[in-house]
Structure 1
Amino acid sequence: MLIFFGIVGGLAIFLYGMQIASESLQLVAGSRFKKVLKFLTKNQFMGVAFGCIVTFLLQSSSATTVLLVSFVSASLMNLTQTLGVILGANIGTTLTVQLISLKFSDYALLLIALGFLLRFMKKNPHFKEIGGVILGFGFIFYGMKIMSDSMVPLRTVPTFTHMLTSLGQRPVLGTILATLFTAIIQSSAATLGLAISLSTQGLLPLKAAIPIIFGSNIGTCATALLSSIGVSQEAKKVAIAHTLFKIMGVIIFFPFIGQLTALMQYMGGDMGRQIANIHTIFNVGLAVIFIPFTSQMAKLVHWLVPEKKEEGIGVPRYITPKALDTPMIAIEQANQEVIRIGRLIQKMTKEVLDAVLSKNRIKLAELQGLEAAIDRLAQALTNYLSDLSQKTIDEHTAQKVINLLFINNDLEHIGDLYEKMLTKGYKILKDDLNFSNEGLEELREMHKTVIEMIDLTIDALEYGDWEKARTVTLEQPYIIMDEWRYRKTHILRLQQGIQDSRATSNIHLDLINIMQKVCEHSRNICQVLLYEAGQLYDLFNIFEDAETVESKDA
C-alpha cells in the first residue's frame, strides 16, 4: 500500500509541477507569440520551430493544439499552416522529457527552495514568474524521485517484474495500456516520467518501454479531441490532424521496435536517457516524414471532417472553457469573439433604419432576433472574461481583460439602442405613420454618419487601425452638434404646422437621439483601443475641441 501511495503521490507532485511551470512560463512569455506568429509560419519549417518553442513553454502539446484552433478560427492561419506547427509541437514535448531524463532529482529540493524564494519576491514580478518556473521544475524532479524511490521494493516482486517484461513480447497491449493511461491523466510527459522511473529501477526493459512511448504519444491526443467536442469544424480538423499524425507515426515505427532497441543499446547511456532519446527520434521522425505531405494531409482532414451548417448566431464561436487554463490562448479567443460581435453590430447598423422606415414586419422581427443573439453572445463573453480574470494572469493580460469587458459592454449597449429603434418601428407600423420629406432626409443623413462611425470603429477593433479610432474620437463633438441641429430644424417644422412632423415628432427626436448615442458608444470603444495602444489624445483637448465647435455653431 505504501508503494501505491508513493507512486500516486509522486505522480501528483509531478503533475502539479507541470502545471506551475506551464503557468509561469506563459507569464514570462506574455503575448509575444502572437507578434511573431505570422513570421514563424511563413513556411512549414518555421512552423515546426514555432510549434516546438510554444509547446515547451506551454508544457502541453494539447494546449498548443487549442492555440492553433483559435488562430485558424480567427483566420490568422489556415489548416495547412497548422500542420507544421503540430509537428513542431510533437518535438516540443520531447524537450521536457529530455529534461526529465537528466539526473536532476538530487537537486530537486534545492530548486524548490530557490523557486519558492523567488516566487515570493513581491517587489519584482519578473523574478516571481521565473521563480514559478524553477519551482515547477523542482516539483517535477521531486515527483520523479518519489516515484522512483517508491518502486525500489517492486524489484523483488516476480509477478510485477514479469508483467512489465512481458510487454516487450506483447507490444500492442503495452501501446493500448499507455494510450489509456495517458488519456486519463492527460499528460504524455507524466506517462514517460513514470516509465523512466520504472526503467531506472531496472523494472522496465527498453523493448517493453518503446510501446509505452508509442501509447503515450497517441494518448496525449485525447485532450485535444475532447476539447473539440461541441465546437467549430476547424477545431475538429486541427485535433483530428494531431491524432492522425500520431497514429500514422506509430504504424510506421511499430515494425522497427527491435531496431530502435538495438540502436539505443549501441548509443549507450542510462535507461532514462534511452527512453527520452527514442521519444525524440519518434517525433522528429514524424516531422521529417510528414512535412513534405502537409498539403495532402490537409486535404485528407477536410475529407474526413466535411463542412456542416453553421451553428446559431447566438452561440459563441471562438471562446472555449478549455482555453481558460492557458490565458494567452483565452485572451486571443475572447478578442476574436468581441470582433465577431462587432461585425454583427455592423450588420445591424446598416439595416436597422431601413427596417424601421419601410414598415417591414419580417425585417423588424429578423433584426430583433439578431439583437437577442448579440445579447446572448455579449453575456457569454462577459462570463468568460470574468472566469479568465480569476486565473493567474500577468498585468498585461489583466488589462486586456478589462479593455475587452469595456468594449463588449459598449457593443451590447449599441444593440440595446437598436432594440429601442425597432420598437419605434413597430409603433410606426401599427399607426401607419409617415415622416416628412425633410425629416426622412435628416434621419438618413444621421444614419449615414452612424454607419461611417461604426465601420471605422469595427475596423479599428479588428485591424488595430489607430487612425480610424482617432477619427471616431475626434468626430464625436461634430455629431453632437448634428443631433442638436436636427432637433432644431424639426422644431421649426412643427412651428410651420407640417402634419407629418407633428404625428412623428416624438419618434423622430428619439431616433435622432438614439443614433447620436450609438456614436457615443463607438467613441468609447475607440478610446479604449487608443488607450491600449498608448495613443489616446488628452481628453481635455478633445473636450476643448467640442466646446470650440459648440461656440462656433452658436
Structure 2
Amino acid sequence: MVFLLHLFGAVALLLWGLRMVRTGILRAYGTQLRHFLSNSMSNRFSAMGTGFIVSLLLQSSSATGLVASSFASRGLFSTSAALAIMLGADIGTSFVAQAYTLPLQWLSPLAILIGWIMFNKIQNTQLKDLGRAVVGLGIALLALELLTAAAAPIRDAQLLPEIMQTMQSAPVFGVILGAVLTILSTSSLAIVLLIASFVTAQLVPIDLGLAMVLGANLGSDIMPIMANWSQPAEARRVPFGNMTFRLSAVIIALPLIPYVQPHLAAFQSDGLRQTLNFHVVFNLAMAACGIWLVGPVSRAMTQFLPQQARPDNPSTPHYLNEGSLESPPDALANAAREALRMGDLLGQMLTMSLNVFRSDDRKLIKDVTALDNHIDRLNEAIKLYLTRINREVMNERDHRRVIDLISFITNLEHIGDILDKSLMELAAKKVKYALKFSEEGAREIEEIHQRLNENLELAMNVFMSSDLSMARRLFAEKQIFRELEKTAAENHLERLRSGRIESIATSGLHLDILRDLKRINSHLALVAQPILELAGELSPSRLR
C-alpha cells in the first residue's frame, strides 16, 4: 500500500505545482491578460490565437473559459468570440502537456531554486509572483518524475490486467474514467500527464489511454458548466457551446482510435509521445472544424439559453457571477455593481421616509421596512461573495478594494437600519398621536433631508470613481451637517420660547429626527475616508 501513497502524493504534488503556476501568473499579469483578452476580438482567428496564448500562460483551459464566460456575460464580447477563444485554449493546454514531458530533468531543481530566490529575495511584487509561478513549474516537473517512479510497482498487481482487459473491450468506460478524474482533480492537464505516465509505465494499454485522454478533454468543460450553473444565461452559453464542440469531437474520435493509433506509433513509437500527440491532434482537428461553426453554435446556444428577465425580487443579486470568483478584478466589479443596487434601494428608502412624515401614511412605513430587509439580504450576499473570491491571485490593490467594499455596504446597511429602526419609529409615533410640525420646522427637516439625498448621490459617485476632489466635498459635509443640526435645534428652541403649540407638542420628535439625519450623513461621509487616508489628507486625531 505504500506505493499507492507515493502515487497519490505525486498526483497531489503535480496538482499543487500546476496551481502555483496558474495563480502566480494571474497575480503577476492577471490584469494584462484580461486586457489582452478583451482587446483581441477583431475576428474569430485572432480570438482563437488569443485563447491559445492565454492558455499557454495560465496552463488551464478551464481558467481561460471562466474568464471568457464572465466577459461574454457582461457583453464585453460575443459568445462566438468566446467560443473561438476556447478552441484556442484547448490547443494551448495540449502544447503545455508536450512541454512538461521534454527530457529536461535538470530544469526542475533549477526552476525551484530560481523561483525561491525571486519569491523571497526580490522586493518587486510582480517578480515575487512570477517567482511563485517558476517554483510551481519546478514542482510540477518534479511530480512527473515521482509519478513515473511510483507507477512502476503497480504493474505487478494481479487485478490490473483483468481490469484493463475489461475496460479496453469497452473504451467508453475509458472516456468516463478520464472525465471523472478530471472533474475530481479540476485539471485536465494534470490528468493527461497522469494518463501519459501510466501508458509509459505500461499500466494502461495505449488504446485505453487515448480513450481516457478524450474523457479528460470532455471533463475539463464540465467544471465551467458547474461553476456557471446558477448564473444568467449569458454566462452559461460559452461552456455549453464549448461542450457541444467537445462532445461532438469525442463521439467522432472514439471509434477512430484503432485507425489513428498506428499512424501515431509510426510517427513516434514511445507510448508517452503517442498519448500527448493524440491530445494535440484531437484539439487541432476540433479547432480546425469548429472555428467555422462558432457562429451557428453561438446562435444555437442563444436559442437554447435565451436571455431571461431579471427577477422582480429586489433581494435577489443580479451581478454576483460565481464564474468570476477566480478573477478578482471581475468579481470585485460585480460586487461593486451589486453595492450600487443597495445604494439605489437606500435612495428609495430615504425618499419614502420623507413622504411618511409628509403624508402620515402607515403603508409607507411598512414599505420602508420591506426595503430595509432587501438591503440586509443584499449586504449578506455581497459579503459572502467577497469571501469566496480566490485570495491566491489577489494583489494588494484587490485586498484594499475588498475592505473598501465591505466598509461601504456596511455603512449602507447601517443607514438602512437608522431609517427603519429609528426614523420609522418616530414616524409611527407622529401618526399615532396625530402630531404636526410647525411650518418652519417642517421646512427645515425637508431642506436637510434634500441635502442628505444629494449627499447619498455624491457618496455613490465617490465610491465608484475614487475621485479625490469629490471625496473632499463629501467629507466636508460632515461639518456642514453638524452646523445645520445645531442651527435647526436653536431655531426649534426659539420657537419653544415663543410658545408655539406645534413646536411644544413635537419637540422631542423634531430633535430626534435631526439627530438621525445627522447620523445618516456621518455614515455617508465615511465613504470618503479611505480615499482621503490614501492621499494622506487625514490626521490620526482631530485633537489639538
What is the TM-score of this pair, normalised by structure 2? 0.83
Q: Deviations over 1:338-374 (max 9, x none)?
A: 3343333344334332244333333322221221232
Name the structure 2 match of 1:223: 223
Q: Aligned-pair distance for 1:477? A: 4.5
Q: Which residue of 2 aligns with 1:509?
A: 511
Q: Which residue in the other structure is 1:194 paired with?
A: 194
Q: Structure 1 179/405 Cα, relative in aligned 2: closer, same or farther at 3 Å? A: same
- One-letter amino acid of the counterpart of residue 243, structure 1: M
| Identical residues among aligned pairs (%) | 27
Distance 1:423 1:42 in 2: 59
Could you tell me how far 1:228 is from its partner in structure 2?
A: 3.4
Describe how 1:370-381 pairs up with structure 2 within 5 A. 370-381=371-382
* Letter in structure 1 aligned against 2:364: K
Gaps of 5+ in 1: 544-554
Partner of 2:344 in structure 1? 343
Query: Map of 1:21-32 to 2, 5 A cutoff?
Result: 21-32=21-32
CA apart distance, 1:484: 4.0
Scaled by the length of structure 1, what TM-score is found?
Answer: 0.81
Please list the CA deviations of residues 432-481 of structure 1 after superposition, one character each: whole Å capped at 9, or x if unmatched.
33334443333333333222222233244346666655553455554544
SS in 2 for 1:152: helix
Q: Structure 2: how far apart are the matches of 1:81 and 1:488?
A: 65
Q: How does 1:296-315 map to 2 (within 5 A)?
A: 296-305=296-305, 307=308, 310=311, 312-315=313-316
Question: Which residue number in structure 1 is paired with residue 282 of structure 2?
Answer: 282
Larger mean CA deviation between 45-54 and 168-177 belongs to 45-54
Q: Counterparts in 2 of 1:516-535, with a 5 A limit?
A: 516-529=518-531
**Aligned residue number for residue 141 of structure 2:** 141
Q: 1:182 to 1:348 in 2, by over 3 A?
A: same
Count of residues in correspondence between the two structures: 538
* Aligned AA (1:4): L
Match of 1:424 in 2: 426
Partners of 1:121 and 1:127 within 8 A in 2: no
State which drifts further: 447-456 or 489-498. 489-498
Would the aligned equivalents of 1:21 and 1:132 in 2 still touch at CA under 8 Å?
Answer: yes
Distance (Å, rounded) in 1 between the aligned partners of 2:524 and 2:475: 8
Q: Secondary structure at the match of 2:39?
A: helix
Distance, in Å, in 2 between the alignment partners of 1:476 and 1:513 is: 13
**Residues 353-432 of structure 1 aligned to structure 2 (within 5 Å):** 353-382=354-383, 385=386, 393-419=394-420, 420-432=422-434
Shift of 1:236: 4.2
- Superposed displacement of residue 329, structure 1: 5.4
Instruction: List alignment gaps of at least 5 residues for structure 2.
Output: none
2:182 alignment partner AA: T
For 1:552, the equivalent position in structure 2 comes to: none
CA contact (8 A) 1:23 1:326 kept: no
Distance 1:151 1:34, change over 3 A: closer
Alpha-carbon separation, structure 2, partners of 1:272 and 1:297: 34
- Is the alpha carbon distance of 1:365 and 1:331 closer, same or farther for their aligned partners in structure 2, counting shifts above 3 Å? same
- Please state how far the C-alpha of 1:75 moved relative to its aligned partner: 5.7
Rounded to whole Å, the distance in 1 between the matches of 2:274 and 2:80 is 33
3-state SS in 2 of match to 1:456: helix
The residue aligned with 2:457 is 455
Contact 2:310 2:318 in 1 (8 A): no
Change (3 A) 1:11 1:236: same
Tell me the alpha carbon deviations over residues 496-527 of structure 1, each in whole angstroms, 9 at most, x when there is no partner: 44433433333333334433433333332134
Amino acid at match of 2:519: K
Q: Distance in 1 between matches of 2:145 and 2:7?
A: 10
Look up the equivalent residue of 2:212 and give its one-letter code. I
Cα–Cα, structure 1 residues 530 and 305, in superposed 2: closer, same or farther, change >3 Å?
Answer: farther
**Deviations for 1:254-276, whole angstroms, at most 9, x for unmatched residues?**
45545654654565485434433
- State the 1:55 CA deviation: 4.2
What is the Cα deviation at residue 135 of structure 1?
1.9
- Match of 1:376, as an amino acid? R
Q: What is the distance in 2 between the residues matched to 1:524 and 1:191?
A: 50
Task: Name 1:546's counterpart in structure 2.
Answer: none
Question: Contact 1:339–1:461 (CA<8 Å) still a contact in 2?
Answer: no
Q: Contact 1:102–1:273 at 8 Å: present in 2 too?
A: no
Three-state SS of the structure 1 residue aligned to 2:138 is helix
Q: Deviations over 1:125-162 (max 9, x none)?
A: 54542332122122211221122223335567797468
CA RMSD of aligned residues (A): 3.9
The 3 A distance-change label for structure 1 pair 426 and 380 is: same
Please tell me the residue identity of whatever aligns with 1:221. D
- Compared with structure 1, are the counterparts of its residues 282 and 338 closer, same or farther at alpha carbon in structure 2 (3 Å cutoff)? farther
Q: Name the SS for the 1:220 alignment partner.
A: helix
Does the C-alpha gap of structure 1 residues 169 and 370 become closer, same or farther in structure 2, counting only changes over 3 Å? same
